[in-house]
Amino acid sequence: MASNKLKINDIARLAGVSATTVSHIFNKRDKKYRISPQTRQRVLSIAEQYSEQAHIRQYLVKANSTDTIGVIVPDISNSFFSMFLHYLEASFRKKNIQLLITCSHYNKDVEIKVAQNLVERKVDAMIVATSLDSDEFYISINQNTPVLFFDRYLKDTRLPFIASESLNSVAELIQPYARQLDEFYFIGCDTQLTSIEARLKGFKQGLKNVGLAVNPQWLVSDNYHPNKGYLLLKGVHEKLGRLPKAIFTPSGNLLQEVLSYLVEVKVKPQDICLCSYDYHIYLDYSYYPIDAIMQDFENMAHTCVNVINDLLNFNELKYNAFFIKPQIIRHR
C-alpha cells in the first residue's frame, strides 16, 4: 500500500471482495444485500488487524453496533428519573436507537449486576445514575463500551458526566425567604452523593448570602429509604415541639414525604415556607405553595445524545463535565 492509512479499497482487495461489499458491511447493510456471514466475518477480521487506525475503529464500531443504549437509574418511579427517561427515549428514538432501561433500586450489588447484563447484551454505550462510591468498575467497562454518568457523578472521575447546576440555583431559590426568617431547615438524604452534596452546598451558600449563619441542627439527613422524609420531619417536630419555619428538600420524593407529614398534622399553608429541588406539575395545584427548581430534562437528554454520539465516533469531548442550568418556579 502506498499509504499507511488503510482504505476501503485496500480491505476489499485483501478480503477478495468489492469495495461496495465492504461498504455495505461497515454500514450494516450486509443482510439487506444478502452478503454471507462468512464474507462479513472475513472483512471484519481484516479490519481488526488495523484497528489502531481511528477511522478503522469507527468502521468496526458501526458494523458491530446494536443500536441500543443501556440506561441504569436507581428508581424508575421517581418523577425526576421518569421525566428524564421520557425525553431521553424520545431523543434516541429519532436516531433509531433503542434504550434498554434497568433499575438498581439504590443497591450497589444490583447495579453492578445489571451493568454486566447490559454489557453481555452488547449495548453500544451506557448512561448511568450510579450509586457506587468509585468509578473503577465503570472504567473497566468503558474500555470497550463508552460510559456516561448522569445526575450522580463521582468526584475526580475520569468519565464524562451530565448534571443539573445546583449551587447557584439552590442559593437563589431560598434567598428571598432566608432574608425574612431566622431559621431554615434542610431535610435530605444521601448527602454523600455528589448531586445531593451540591444542593446542600447551594443551601448553605444561600443562607450565607443573606447573612444567616448556618445552625448545624438545621441540617437533618440520613440514608434514604421510602418514607424517610416523613420520619425525618416527624423527628424534628418532636424535638422542637413545633414545626420548622422553613424547609428545603433536595429531591421530589423527599418533598412528597414531607408533605404527607404536614397534611397529617394539619399545618396551615401560611405557617410554613417550603422550597425544593425537582419541580413537578402537581406543585401548581398543591395546597401548600412550594417554590421549586425545574430541571431542563429536554436539554439534558439532547446533551446525553450528543455526548454518546461523540464517544461512539471517538471524538474528543470539549468538556468532561456538563452542568445544565435549571429554572426556578415560584408559587409564593
Looking at residue 49, which CATH number applies to its domain?
1.10.260.40
Decide which of 64, 80, 103 is a domain's last residue. Answer: 64
In a shared domain, residues 201 and 256: yes
Burial label for 327, CB within 10 Å (0-12, 13-18, 19+), is: exposed
Spatial separation of the C-alpha atoms in residues 10 and 16, rounded to whole Å: 10
Show the beta-strand stretches assigned E in the chain. 68-73, 98-103, 125-128, 147-150, 161-164, 185-189, 219-222, 246-249, 273-277, 290-294, 321-324, 327-329
Q: Is residue 329 part of a domain?
A: no
Q: End-to-end alpha-carbon separation of the chain, Å?
A: 73
Q: Is residue 14 part of a domain?
A: yes
CATH number of residue 141's parent domain: 3.40.50.2300
In a shared domain, residues 57 and 27: yes
Q: Is residue 321 part of a domain?
A: no
In a shared domain, residues 101 and 188: no
Supply the pLDDT for residue 2.
Answer: 43
Supply the pLDDT for residue 3.
Answer: 52
In a shared domain, residues 185 and 261: yes
pTM recorded for the entire structure: 0.81
Q: How many domains does the chain have?
A: 3
Q: Is residue 289 part of a domain?
A: yes
Q: Is residue 182 part of a domain?
A: yes
In a shared domain, residues 39 and 187: no
Please report, in tens digits, the pLDDT of each residue of the chain (332 residues total): 445 788 888 888 888 888 888 777 777 777 777 888 888 888 788 877 887 887 777 777 776 678 999 999 998 888 889 999 999 999 999 999 999 999 999 899 999 999 999 999 999 999 999 989 899 999 999 988 999 999 988 888 999 999 999 999 999 999 999 999 999 999 999 998 899 999 999 999 999 999 999 999 999 999 988 899 999 999 999 999 999 999 999 999 999 999 999 999 999 999 999 999 999 999 999 999 999 999 999 999 999 999 999 998 888 898 899 999 999 999 98
Spatial separation of the C-alpha atoms in residues 208 and 220, rounded to whole Å: 18
Q: Is residue 265 part of a domain?
A: yes
In a shared domain, residues 60 and 125: no
Q: What is the largest CA-CA distance in the chain?
A: 85
Range of the domain at 20: 8-64
Burial label for 185, CB within 10 Å (0-12, 13-18, 19+), is: buried
Q: Is residue 322 part of a domain?
A: no
In a shared domain, residues 156 and 259: no
CB 209 within 8 A of CB 171: yes
Spatial separation of the C-alpha atoms in residues 330 and 332, rounded to whole Å: 6
In a shared domain, residues 117 and 193: no
In a shared domain, residues 181 and 290: yes
In a shared domain, residues 197 and 83: no
In a shared domain, residues 171 and 196: yes
Q: Nearest 5 degrees, angle CA 91-CA 86-CA 77?
A: 150
Q: Is residue 285 part of a domain?
A: yes
In a shared domain, residues 201 and 134: no
